[in-house]
């Protein structure tokens, strides 16, 4: 069967995520036959360079033999078991290893299956911690503008990207929203550190005003990924940690997208040398193989739920596939690669190659900014470069880049008017150049009228 035949069958039964299905009257849907390394191959034999790690999950390439082999072995041993009352080898080993590699103090792992579910866990755990202490007035959360934490109703509530949130607003809990340190809006000549620091004043004020009723602050460290890859300086995290401690409010760090080396360090919060009260991980946790998510927290949180059953202090939260052994095995294989290979060192070279390959983009008449944190590089297209006036969203300029990329064999899926690279770590400098060339041509075509 060729692409066309698969697409016909697909479009008669599927409803794809984050998609206006009518787009597919014109936009090609690509059925993928197989993947190898950074390459995906469709049923007509055409190849696509996966420049966005298939929604930021893939770390070491598609069909990585080192991960596949371990998952295959696990498959013949134990595919799944209930995690309440039962346990298994991969999850115990994974928890020990996560404790060892995450910031000091995080000692308890609570598992879920997807990123959004990890956010729900962290929100509920934070709330119930205070509840268990008799602090029943603490029921609210502080979040940043332009943040994204997933799309289940709790996660959507603490997110702020209007495109995903607006429609569902009547269903969501009310949160306290504070202006983001997003450095795109800094004054000309103002450094990122100074702007980030200045933006922290809003957070300080919100904490001062609301700390009695706030359970936790939730942020994506360093990069607001779904919020158009907007970035900020680590100083914000240091200031936030100190302020949360001072005001008696938890800090939830959502490293679902930025964890596992994306920003240059294993975890983004390493750059501020801080430990959150709750650390949410998913996506790259399994190298992009299987859904798995985890919330790491401290012993003091765990102990506040630990009591006789009759006190009703237990955390009675569960998902059927929590801690699936196949997914845990994929996660262990992923951690093995980090241990055996100099991944972060190699990534520094790749990050440099991304920087070099896109150095000329800043001179493009419709590029306002090229920004980067490690293995995430974003190019912001604008209508007017001097005023940073965006193109109206209705013009869908990013989509034009996407469509051009597909014709040239690249999977670049811009966020609005922001084209970005977030490739698997097995990409080569030559492939980075190839991606940059396609992005450049795509941006030229998308901005020529």
Ligand X SMILES: Cc1ncc(COP(=O)(O)O)c(C=O)c1O
Q: Does 220 bind ligand X (CB under 6 A)?
A: yes
**Which letter does DSSP use for residue 279 in this model?**
E
In the chain the first and final C-alpha atoms are separated, in Å, by 39
Q: Does 116 bind ligand X (CB under 6 A)?
A: yes
Minimum CB–partner distance for residue 412 and ligand X (Å): 17
116: left (phi over 0), alpha (psi -120 to 50) or beta: alpha
Q: Give the pair of three-digit tokens for residue 64.
A: 């990585």
Minimum CB–partner distance for residue 122 and ligand X (Å): 10
Q: Could you say which residues in the range 234-273 bind ligand X, by CB under 6 A?
A: 254, 256-257
Q: Which residues pair with 177 in a beta bridge?
A: 143
Q: Does 285 bind ligand X (CB under 6 A)?
A: no
Place of tokens 């995903």: 164
Establish whether 440 is an annotated binding residue: no
Looking at beta carbons only, is 3 or 58 nearer to ligand X? 58
Looking at beta carbons only, is 133 or 318 nearer to ligand X? 318
Q: Please work out the total of residues on this chain that contact ligand X, with binding judged by CB under 6 A.
A: 14
Establish whether 115 is an annotated binding residue: yes
Q: Could you say which residues in the range 333-362 bind ligand X, by CB under 6 A?
A: none
253-289 b/e with 16+ CB inside 10 Å = b?
bbbbbbbbbbbbbbbbbbbbebbbbbbbbbbbbbbbb
- C-alpha–C-alpha distance, residues 2 and 19, integer Å: 23
Establish whether 12 is an annotated binding residue: no
Q: Does 368 bind ligand X (CB under 6 A)?
A: no
Alpha-helical (H) ranges within 29-84 are 53-56, 65-75
- Pairing of the two strands 214-219 and 223-224: unpaired
Binding mask 55-84 for ligand X (x = CB under 6 A): ------------------------------
Looking at beta carbons only, is 123 or 432 nearer to ligand X? 123
Place of tokens 């998308």: 446
- C-alpha–C-alpha distance, residues 201 and 178, integer Å: 10
Burial class (CB in 10 A: 0-12, 13-18, 19+), 223: buried
Q: Does 217 bind ligand X (CB under 6 A)?
A: no
Looking at beta carbons only, is 91 or 223 nearer to ligand X? 223
Q: Does 149 bind ligand X (CB under 6 A)?
A: yes
Asked if residues 108 and 278 have their Cβ atoms less than 8 Å apart, the reply is no
Minimum CB–partner distance for residue 11 and ligand X (Å): 23
Q: Does 115 bind ligand X (CB under 6 A)?
A: yes
Minimum CB–partner distance for residue 114 and ligand X (Å): 4
Minimum CB–partner distance for residue 359 and ligand X (Å): 27
Minimum CB–partner distance for residue 192 and ligand X (Å): 20
Establish whether 283 is an annotated binding residue: yes
Residue 376's SS3 state is strand
Residue 69's SS3 state is helix
Asked if residues 138 and 212 have their Cβ atoms less than 8 Å apart, the reply is yes
Where is the binding site for pyridoxal 5'-phosphate, in residues? 115-116, 254, 319-320
Where is the binding site for substrate, in residues? 55, 148, 283, 318, 413
Where is the binding site, in residues? 55, 115-116, 148, 254, 283, 318-320, 413
Catalog residues that contact ligand X under the rule CB under 6 A: 114-116, 119, 148-150, 220, 225-226, 254, 256-257, 282
């Amino acid at each position: 069967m060729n692409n066309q035949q698969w697409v016909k069958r697909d479009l008669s039964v599927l409803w794809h995520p984050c998609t206006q299905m009518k787009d597919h009257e014109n936009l090609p849907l690509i059925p993928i036959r197989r993947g190898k390394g950074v390459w995906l191959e469709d049923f007509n034999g055409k190849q696509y360079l996966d420049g966005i790690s298939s929604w930021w999950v893939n770390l070491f390439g598609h069909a990585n033999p080192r991960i596949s082999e371990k998952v295959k072995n696990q498959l013949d041993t134990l595919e799944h078991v209930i995690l309440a009352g039962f346990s298994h080898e991969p999850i115990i080993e994974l928890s020990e290893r996560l404790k060892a590699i995450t910031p000091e103090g995080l000692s308890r792992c609570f598992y879920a299956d997807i990123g959004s579910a990890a956010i729900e866990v962290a929100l509920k755990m934070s709330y119930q911690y205070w509840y268990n202490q008799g602090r029943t007035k603490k029921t609210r959360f502080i979040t940043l503008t332009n943040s994204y934490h997933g799309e289940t109703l709790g996660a959507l509530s603490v997110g702020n990207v209007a495109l995903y949130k607006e429609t569902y607003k009547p269903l969501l809990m009310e949160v306290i929203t504070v202006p983001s340190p997003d450095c795109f809006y800094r004054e000309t000549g103002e450094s990122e550190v100074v702007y980030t620091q200045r933006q922290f004043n809003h957070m300080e004020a919100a904490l001062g005003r609301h700390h009695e009723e706030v359970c936790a602050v939730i942020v994506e460290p360093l990069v607001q990924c779904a919020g158009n890859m907007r970035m900020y300086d680590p100083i914000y995290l240091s200031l936030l940690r100190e302020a949360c401690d001072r005001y008696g409010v938890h800090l939830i760090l959502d490293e679902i997208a930025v964890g596992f080396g994306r920003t240059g360090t294993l975890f983004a919060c390493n750059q501020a040398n801080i430990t959150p009260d709750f650390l949410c991980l998913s996506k790259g946790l399994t190298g992009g193989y299987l859904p798995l998510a985890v919330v790491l927290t401290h012993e003091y949180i765990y102990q506040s739920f630990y009591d006789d059953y009759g006190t009703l202090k237990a955390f009675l939260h569960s998902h059927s596939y929590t801690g699936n052994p196949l997914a845990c095995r994929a996660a262990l294989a992923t951690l093995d690669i980090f241990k055996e290979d100099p991944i972060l060192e190699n990534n520094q070279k790749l990050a440099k190659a991304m920087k070099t390959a896109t150095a000329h983009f800043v001179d493009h008449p419709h590029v306002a900014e090229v920004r980067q944190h490690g293995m995430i590089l974003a190019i912001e297209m604008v209508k007017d470069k001097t005023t940073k006036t965006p193109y109206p969203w209705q013009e869908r300029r990013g989509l034009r880049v996407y469509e051009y990329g597909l014709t040239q064999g690249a999977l670049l899926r811009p966020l609005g008017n922001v084209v970005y690279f977030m490739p698997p770590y097995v990409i080569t400098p030559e492939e980075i150049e190839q991606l940059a060339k396609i992005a450049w041509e795509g941006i030229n075509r998308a901005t020529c009228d």
